[in-house]
Amino acid sequence: MADIPRPTDAELSILRVLWRRGPSTVKEVHDELARRAPTGYTTTLKQLQIMTEKGLVTRDESQRAHLYVARLPEEQTQTQLVGDLLDRAFEGSASRLVLRALSSRPATPGELAEIRELLDRLEGDTK
């Protein structure tokens, strides 16, 4: 009961909105989503209801317009998704995944520096 399933594509779109906006009504989420890809209001509502059942989001019903909140923080979900991809396509090799990530997207010099700092920190711990 405590485990939360991997979000589907449509669910992830909704989670992104909730992470950015914080607690939001269906209308607010829908308006954001419909800006990029027009869709029906009830479609977003239904998604959020299913996500509530799955435990992906929680719902505050104290107001007339219910407020939805992502159950897990963005970082945790990202870590879950990366770990999942690692197992499914990279035989668990993190370095391979990093290799592909950096070769598939031109990272900015600033980003590369960030990663370098991260490496320094990690190697500092490994002693």
| 99: Cα within 13 Å, side-chain hemisphere | 6
> If binding is defined by CB under 8 A, does position 111 make contact with its own copies?
yes
* Partner whose binding site includes residue 69, from its own copies, DNA, none (CB under 5 to 8 Å by kind): none
> If binding is defined by CB under 7 A, does position 26 make contact with DNA?
yes
> If binding is defined by CB under 7 A, does position 22 make contact with DNA?
no
Structure tokens at 30: 């829908």
Q: Give whichever of 54 and 115 is closer to DNA, judged by the CB atom.
A: 54
> If binding is defined by CB under 7 A, does position 46 make contact with DNA?
yes
Q: How far is the CB of 9 from its own copies (least distance, A)?
A: 6
> If binding is defined by CB under 7 A, does position 50 make contact with DNA?
yes
> If binding is defined by CB under 7 A, does position 41 make contact with DNA?
yes
**Contacts with its own copies, residue ranges (CB under 8 A):** 9, 12-13, 16, 75, 77-83, 85-86, 88-105, 107, 109, 111-112, 114-116, 118-119, 122-123, 126
